[in-house]
Structure 1
Amino acid sequence: MSGNSIKWVYLIILSIIWGSSFILIKKGLIGLTPVQLGAIRVVFTAIFLFIVGFNRIKTIALKDWKWVALTGLLGTFFPAFLFAFAETEIDSSVASILNSLVPLNTIILGFVIFKINSTKRQILGVLVGLTGTLLLILNGASLNPDQNYLYVSYVIIATFMYAASVNILKRHLQNMNALTIAVGNFAVIFIPACLILVASGFFKEEALSAPTLKPALFYMLLLSLFGTAIAKVLFNKLVHISTPVFASSVTYVMTIVAVFWGILDGERFGILQAVATIIILIGVYLAHKRK
């Protein structure tokens, strides 16, 4: 298979994996609380990564640990809980669409905090994307009056955390191996996640005997193994065999996959929401279009 064909295979596989993550969170919440789900997701992924590359921890320089810790907290730990809380009130498809704001927020934070210059096209892309976001939220609230759309704020906060993590990675950890960073991230957040899991009441007899627990743990196993551990390796490989621009296009395709899963699961998705989604993705495209 040619290199051009292989990169498309990686893109499709990644889009299916990441696009399915949001419905897995939704299914996991049937048997777990948001706190338990977030903690278990971190614990499971940490175990997978430690099996593969625990010995890489010793290669991290002391001066880099503060940045490894910060990217672990902002890029994984807090978003795991924020998305879980968000999907107790909003549809998984809406959460996935809002997740596509990460590239736009990366530009905003890069300009405001990290003093990275932005082009007029990038600014236009951000404005278009934010317009689509507002339309999505307003229409979603009217389409699903029984849902508390204030919970979209959890997803938006998480996307800003992802964006901050990306900027820190680019500025301070650019030369560190991706697997090393991931293992270091989870070395920092593994113990806090374990403590939170214990404090959540997960190990109480009534929680462990609940009939919905096993299916929920199975969904978390899939999410942690494929949606985080394996997906990170595949994405790094995709960047190596293609270009960053091509690799970032996973943002568009995974949204389509997530919306498909949501509709299949009975979520309501109106015409205006579809229009809002297209507007957001156009904003992302404008912000990252190659000159």
Structure 2
Amino acid sequence: MKAITKKWIYLAILSLVWGSSFILIKKALIGLTPLQLGALRTLFAAAFLLLIGFNSLKKIKRNEWKWIVISAFLGTFFPAFLFAFAETEIDSAVASVLNSTTPIVTLLLGALVFSIGFSRRQLVGVLVGLLGSFLLIWVGAEVNPDQNYLYSGFVLIASVCYACNVNIIKRYLQNIPAIAIAVGNFVVLIIPALIVLFFSEFFQQPFTTDPLILESLGYLAILAVVGTGIAKILFNKLVQISTPVFSTSVTYTIPIVALMWGVLDGETFTVFQVLAASLIVFGVYLSNKRKKKNATH
């Protein structure tokens, strides 16, 4: 399968998986606190990845572990808690839309910090997609005026973390198998996650008898295994076979899936939101459209 086709397949799968993650976070928060959710999400995903990919750790060289550690905290640990806190005050769909700022931050950081270039078409495509995202935020704010949008700042900080992480993977971890990066990330995070979970008062709760906690743990298990473990492997591979801008453009298509889940969950979805979502998709297409080759080639 050609890399061009493969990267679009990865993008579609990640859009579906991560677009569903926001509603899973919302459901898990019914019986768990943000600290408990972030810590357990990390630990569940770590257990799953170690089970399927422990042997891949040998592919990581000693001098590469520092980047694995940085990638772990920026790409997984901090965002897991930031999104959990954000969704205590804003809708899951709004959080997914705000996450769409990741590509433009990735583009700027890649150019200014990591010396990764970009084309004018990529910049235009990113800006078009970002415009679509802002339109979705604007409409969402009108439909749901009671949300505390100060908590949107948590999502924006998470977007910066994601942008740094994708540039680190592209620049310093390009030759490491995607599953090795993912497993290495979560090996690093086991102890920090256990510390957070211990101080979150999770073990003082009657989670064996409280149906809300048991239900939340069920949602969390799906979120951790599929939305974190499997998705992390796919995303690492996507970064390696494409550009940082393309790989983070998944955050433009995620809100479309998240909004669909919102409709199924009883949230309002307007025609204007459909148009804004279409603009997002066009931005992704534009930023990744290949230049035409000469007819003689």
TM-score range, shorter chain: 0.7 to 0.9
Distance 1:133 1:246 in 2: 16
Q: What whole-Å deviation, never above 9, does each CA across 1:36-75 have from its counterpart, x for those lacking one?
A: 1111100000001111222333442221111000111111
Q: Give yes or no for the alignment of 1:109 onto 2:109.
A: yes
Distance 2:239 2:62 in 1: 28
Per the alignment, residue 90 of structure 2 pairs with 90
Q: Is the 8 A contact 2:100 2:251 kept in 1?
A: yes
Query: How many residue pairs align between the two structures?
Result: 291
Per the alignment, residue 28 of structure 2 pairs with 28
SS of the residue aligned with 1:174?
coil
Q: Output aligned runs, 1:42-53, within 5 Å.
A: 42-53=42-53
Q: What whole-Å deviation, never above 9, does each CA across 1:84-138 have from its counterpart, x for those lacking one?
A: 1121122222222333333332112112222333322223233333433433333
User: For structure 1, which segment, 216-225 or 200-209, has the greater mean C-alpha deviation from structure 2 after superposition?
Assistant: 200-209
Per the alignment, residue 295 of structure 2 pairs with none
Question: Aligned residues: percent identity?
Answer: 57
Q: Does the C-alpha gap of structure 1 residues 146 and 255 become closer, same or farther in structure 2, counting only changes over 3 Å?
A: closer
Q: Please state how far the C-alpha of 1:167 moved relative to its aligned partner.
A: 0.4
Distance 1:276 1:234 in 2: 27
Q: What whole-Å deviation, never above 9, does each CA across 1:207-226 have from its counterpart, x for those lacking one?
A: 55432110100011111111
Q: Give yes or no for the alignment of 1:211 onto 2:211.
A: yes
Per the alignment, residue 198 of structure 2 pairs with 198
Q: Does the C-alpha gap of structure 1 residues 111 and 7 become closer, same or farther in structure 2, counting only changes over 3 Å?
A: closer
Per the alignment, residue 141 of structure 1 pairs with 141
Distance 1:190 1:29 in 2: 21
Q: Is the 8 A contact 1:7 1:238 kept in 2?
A: yes
Q: Output aligned runs, 1:266-285, within 5 Å.
A: 266-285=266-285
Q: Is the 8 A contact 2:174 2:240 kept in 1?
A: no
Amino acid at match of 1:258: A
Q: Is the 8 A contact 1:14 1:235 kept in 2?
A: yes
Q: Does the C-alpha gap of structure 1 residues 247 and 78 become closer, same or farther in structure 2, counting only changes over 3 Å?
A: closer
Q: Please state how far the C-alpha of 1:238 moved relative to its aligned partner.
A: 7.6
Amino acid at match of 1:211: P
Q: Please state how far the C-alpha of 1:156 moved relative to its aligned partner.
A: 2.0
Q: Is the 8 A contact 2:10 2:234 kept in 1?
A: yes
Q: Give yes or no for the alignment of 1:72 onto 2:57.
A: no
Distance 1:206 1:245 in 2: 45
Per the alignment, residue 294 of structure 2 pairs with none
User: For structure 1, which segment, 199-208 or 21-30, has the greater mean C-alpha deviation from structure 2 after superposition?
Assistant: 199-208
* Residue ranges of structure 2 left out of the alignment (5+ in a row): 292-297
Q: Please state how far the C-alpha of 1:157 moved relative to its aligned partner.
A: 1.7
SS of the residue aligned with 1:100?
helix
Q: Please state how far the C-alpha of 1:244 moved relative to its aligned partner.
A: 9.7
SS of the residue aligned with 1:146?
coil
Q: Is the 8 A contact 2:169 2:236 kept in 1?
A: no
Q: Is the 8 A contact 2:98 2:137 kept in 1?
A: no
* Residue ranges of structure 1 left out of the alignment (5+ in a row): none
RMSD across aligned C-alpha pairs, in angstroms? Answer: 3.3
Q: Is the 8 A contact 2:97 2:137 kept in 1?
A: no
Q: What whole-Å deviation, never above 9, does each CA across 1:208-256 have from its counterpart, x for those lacking one?
A: 5432110100011111111122234456778999999998776565443
Q: Is the 8 A contact 1:15 1:250 kept in 2?
A: yes
Amino acid at match of 2:118: S
